[in-house]
Structure 1
Amino acid sequence: MAGIQEHPGEQAAGDPIKLLGIRDTPLSVDEVLRAAGDDTAGGTALFVGTVRNHDGGADVDALSYSCHPTAEAELRRVAEKVVADYPVRALAAVHRVGDLGIGDLAVVVAVSCPHRAEAFEACRKLIDDLKHEVPIWKHQKFADGTEEWVGAGSC
């Protein structure tokens, strides 16, 4: 509403981007959730992407992720765009690279906003743009001996 200011407690403090990273070590949901926590937020949305045992009707035996050297900078650019477009109070995103097993965490993102609808929208935008714009590629090995690169078209 015009003329009504936000309550001082609703003001975001400092940079809302609290944690970004591309790592070759296991990811932690708890770490991301803690980083995205904020006392001014009424809603926090979390997305956890895991390695599944199939893709496109084929059984996946193994996979690995690799990235371009600019991946972290691109991740920051994506996060900054989400912060610019939504009332983000805190944001965290980490993606794994290297060899992963079935069930391993591949990506964890979380966004806190004043209200749940904004948090859901911002979190979805963050993971969707991360997957489409950050140069991280998945190399899948299937049970039948075939292999496939996924995401290589984004480079």
Structure 2
Amino acid sequence: MTTSAQQNNDCFIETALHEGPVSISPLGWPADCGAECIFLGRTRLESHPKRGLLQRIIYHTYHEMAETKLNEIAIAASQKFPIRAIRIIHAHGPVPPSHASVLIQTATPHRSESFAATKFVIDTLKHAVPIWKQEIWADNSSTWVKGCIAHDLDEHGQSQDPNHDPDQHRHHTPPLDLPYNP
């Protein structure tokens, strides 16, 4: 796992790329926080009509840029919301169904801020971090999950495409043919 931890003003920031599935760990608890929001994104068990059951997703990353982007997102969130602590960890490599591939934890004084900050982080991460998903099916075939296009975002990290549906990124080749980078 490649981890970056820092103190940015009054906010503790930790970001990391983690080999394989991620898990929750205690977040240093700031005394002035009454809320911690934990988002754990998991690989869904899916069935393809011709390929069978999903066996795993392999997350391919452009490591250096992904690490930089995760840190930039954490800093942006800490500037936009009253976050006192934030952790963003994303998997790279294989993740089987029901296991977690992304963890976001935010600690804020109030729950509405923590919910909003966590939503901002996951939405921005999905659009800005160079991570590609390769699905491996029961018949050993693979498909690529289409990601969002970062240049279509506004200053709030929201897509400018009126047809954009973040839950429908399916089966397209990534922009670069990058090998798995452990």
Map of 2:136 onto structure 1: 141
> Which runs of 4 or more aligned residues in structure 1 lie more than 6 Å from their structure 2 counterparts after TM superposition?
55-58
Taking structure 2 as the reference length, the TM-score comes to 0.68
Matched, 1:34 2:34: no
Map of 2:55 onto structure 1: 61
Change (3 A) 1:23 1:114: same
**Larger RCO, structures 1/2 (Cα 8 Å, 6+ apart):** 1
Matched length: 141
Map of 1:20 onto structure 2: 15
Structure 2 SS opposite 1:70? helix
Taking only the aligned residue pairs, the percentage that are identical comes to 27
Q: Is the 8 A contact 1:66 1:138 kept in 2?
A: yes
Map of 2:163 onto structure 1: none
Change (3 A) 1:153 1:120: closer
Taking structure 1 as the reference length, the TM-score comes to 0.79
What's the RMSD between the two structures over aligned residues?
A: 2.4
Map of 1:72 onto structure 2: 67
Map of 2:89 onto structure 1: 94
User: Structure 2 CA distance, aligned partners of 1:65 and 1:121?
Assistant: 26
For structure 1, list consecutive stretches of 5 or more residues without a partner in the other structure.
1-11
User: Structure 1 CA distance, aligned partners of 2:45 and 2:78?
Assistant: 34
Structure 1 SS opposite 2:87? strand
